[in-house]
């Protein structure tokens, strides 16, 4: 699959490419000659002839379905689906969280990943090949006060990933989740200084991740050598 990267571009779909990890990943795969389809709720500044951007809110079923099916029709395949889109959450104790905040986080992190992976998996099933990677978070492993809704939505992403992995195993499609600790993205910078320091202190590796650590892991997960790795949540920087 991805060992073809040197000869012909693979088809990579990434949600949430306007900033943060999604944007880093889009550039990473573009640099390797892949054809990248990205989406976000806003426009993108990525300029590359191999990049196509769509303004799609991944928690909207019709828009997400239409976008991914369009890619399937245009390319005939999706090799890698990376469900990265997520919402930013400010630190709030659960007792003060609104139902609206709950809906928003679960819609973006959980429903968005579900819809994108559901549609991509249908295209991959026909080719009997594919790699699905979702994004969880260190918050899911740390159980820190103030991160309740965010952590719960990311835990739901892990469970969806495991079950997708079981359901799609017969089609040579692997599904894994990455739970990175802190990388200097806009989402992390929106956390309060105090919460950031506390989060770093609670990590096993008490430092920020560098982008290459995430892209390196993803390169491995999409490689043929990782064909037997599925249904896993890979924590980066912490021991759960």
Partner 1 sequence: MNYDDIMALMQEAVDSLYRAELVEEAIKLNKGTVLLGDNSALDSMGFVTFITEIEERVEDKTGIEFVVVIDKLHEFNEENSNLSIGSLILFIESEIGK
Binding site for partner 1 (CB under 8 A): 62, 65-66, 69, 73, 122, 125-126, 128, 167-168, 170-171
Helix (H) or strand (E) holding 213: helix 211-221
- DSSP type of residue 183: B
Closer to partner 1 by Cβ: residue 169 or 210: 169
Minimum distance of partner 1 from residue 70's CB (angstroms)? 11
CA distance 83 to 170: 21
CA distance 44 to 19: 8
Closest C-alpha among 73, 191, 67, 74 to residue 118:
67
Minimum distance of partner 1 from residue 230's CB (angstroms)? 15
Minimum distance of partner 1 from residue 65's CB (angstroms)? 6
Minimum distance of partner 1 from residue 122's CB (angstroms)? 4
**Tokens for 220?**
């491995």
- The Cα-based distances of 220 to 3, 54, 73 in angstroms read 11, 27, 27
Minimum distance of partner 1 from residue 125's CB (angstroms)? 5
Closer to partner 1 by Cβ: residue 74 or 205: 74
Minimum distance of partner 1 from residue 64's CB (angstroms)? 11
Closer to partner 1 by Cβ: residue 37 or 164: 164
**Tokens for 43?**
């426009």
Closer to partner 1 by Cβ: residue 91 or 161: 161
Backbone angles phi, psi at 135, to 5 degrees: -115, 115
DSSP-derived pairing of the beta strands 80-83 and 51-55: unpaired
Closer to partner 1 by Cβ: residue 13 or 21: 13
**Tokens for 95?**
């007792």
Q: What is the layout of strands, in order, in the sheet containing 233-236?
A: 51-55, 35-40, 11-15, 80-83, 130-135, 173-180, 233-236
Closer to partner 1 by Cβ: residue 60 or 213: 60
Minimum distance of partner 1 from residue 155's CB (angstroms)? 25
Closer to partner 1 by Cβ: residue 1 or 234: 1
Contact indicator for 37, 52 with CB cutoff of 8 Å? yes
């Amino acid at each position: 699959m991805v060992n073809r990267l040197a000869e012909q571009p693979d088809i990579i779909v990434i949600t949430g490419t306007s900033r943060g990890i999604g944007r880093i990943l889009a550039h990473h795969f573009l640099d390797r000659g892949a054809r990248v389809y990205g989406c976000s709720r806003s426009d993108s500044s990525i300029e590359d002839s191999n990049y196509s951007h769509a303004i799609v809110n991944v928690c909207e079923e019709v828009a997400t379905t239409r976008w991914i099916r369009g890619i399937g029709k245009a390319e005939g395949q999706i090799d890698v689906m990376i469900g990265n889109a997520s919402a930013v959450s400010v630190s709030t104790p659960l007792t003060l969280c609104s139902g609206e905040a709950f809906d928003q986080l679960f819609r973006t992190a959980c429903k968005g990943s579900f819809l994108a992976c559901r549609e991509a998996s249908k295209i991959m099933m026909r080719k009997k090949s594919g790699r699905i990677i979702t994004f969880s978070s260190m918050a899911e492993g740390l159980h820190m006060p103030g991160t309740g809704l965010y952590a719960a939505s990311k835990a739901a992403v892990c469970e969806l990933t495991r079950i997708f992995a079981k359901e799609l195993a017969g089609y040579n499609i692997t599904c894994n989740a990455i739970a990175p600790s802190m990388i200097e993205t806009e989402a992390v910078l929106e956390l309060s200084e105090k919460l950031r320091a506390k989060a770093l202190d609670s990590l096993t590796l008490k430092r920020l991740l560098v982008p290459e650590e995430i892209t390196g892991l993803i390169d491995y997960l999409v490689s043929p050598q990782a064909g037997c790795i599925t249904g896993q949540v890979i924590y980066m920087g912490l021991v759960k």
